Amino acid sequence: MIEFPDEVPNTALLRKTVSHSRKHRDPFPSLSELAPEKSLQELTETGRAWQKAGLGSMTEHSNEGKRSVSFTLNEDALKLADYLDAKTIIGQLKSLPLGKGLWEVTKLGLAALLGAVTQAYFGS
């Protein structure tokens, strides 16, 4: 079994970073762009903690007077994000043999319910 570090700060941002990296094929996702509400100091501390945990390497750079933090993910970060995703309710559903199909049916049912409620509220 793979052992993950006990204290990885800001796992929500890590999952978001990995998702962005996979979706956009971006090997150097910018933490500053993914979490603009966080200060540069917070992002730098998060990046250093991830680096210390062995999830990749942090890079600080400045462009046109604006400083930002990027993080290069390694395979351990991807595995940790997959592990964290599997612990969510949706991840649990998808892990079932029929989980993916069940999730799709659930989404369609929720959409139909929302449509009926919207039609009842706004009328025809």
Is 73 found in the same domain as 12? yes
Is 18 found in the same domain as 59? yes
* Enclosing domain of residue 121: 96-124
CATH at residue 61:
1.10.10.10
Kindly tell me if the per-residue pLDDT of 6 is higher than 70.
Answer: no
Is 60 found in the same domain as 37? yes
Residues 26-60 pLDDT 10s? 888 899 899 999 999 999 999 999 999 889 999 99
If one counts the domains in the chain, the total is 2
Tokens found for residue 83: 């592990």
Tokens found for residue 70: 């990027």
Of these ranges, 39-43, 98-102, 106-110, the one predicted with the greatest mean pLDDT is: 39-43
Is 117 found in the same domain as 79? no
Is 60 found in the same domain as 7? yes
CA distance 108 to 82: 25
Is 31 found in the same domain as 50? yes
pLDDT of residue 121: 86
